[in-house]
Amino acid sequence: MAEINTGGGGGHDGGKVRSKKQSTRVDMTPMVDLGFLLITFFILATTLSKPSSMTLNVPDKTKQEETEPIKASNVMTVFLGKDNKAHYIFGKAANEEPEVKTVGYGYEFRQAIQENARKVGGDKFVVVIKPTKESTYKNMVDVLDEMAITKTKRYALVDQLTPDEKTLLKDKVKIDA
């Protein structure tokens, strides 16, 4: 609390009467206590950010279903590259020298998926996602988000490039042999 010390200036010299000087001193201890109480309250009352996750449906290993082979003309192969760019080929295998197109994540990538899905038909369309050494975790999450947004039901994550794909992408991404 505020404390007032009264002291000093009490002598009578030569008949002059002087008023006493009063010095004030504010005790800051209660203010510090209040600060710590407020910090404690806000730490305890704040909800920490909860981790969010994406559901990823995978086929059941116990069920062996007969499926027809996937045609290369129904497949869009996406290579995750550097600088938030994705390279993709559609409708051909890498050994047939297809045209490699480059898009950014987000709207451009979504348009490419939707356009290629329209060409094939929704049920037959397959996306193969292949991250490279230069891609980041964020790129992978962005691609999986696009799969959910475009409601692409059939996609696969493959972590290795074939020798033909390495040759095809040699000028676009850094390939470790």
Task: Convert the pLDDT of each residue in 142-154 to its tens digit.
Answer: 888 888 888 888 8
What does the pLDDT look like over 69-89, one tens digit per residue? Answer: 777 778 888 888 888 888 888
Tell whether pTM > 0.85.
Answer: no
Give the C-alpha distances (Å, rounded to integers) separating 29 from 33, 34, 35, 88. Answer: 6, 9, 10, 66
Task: Tokens for 87, please give them.
Answer: 């390279």
* CATH number listed for the domain at residues 72-168: 3.30.420.270
Q: Where are the domains of the chain?
A: 72-168
Q: Which two tokens stand for residue 119?
A: 């060409």
Q: Which amino acid is at 24?
A: T
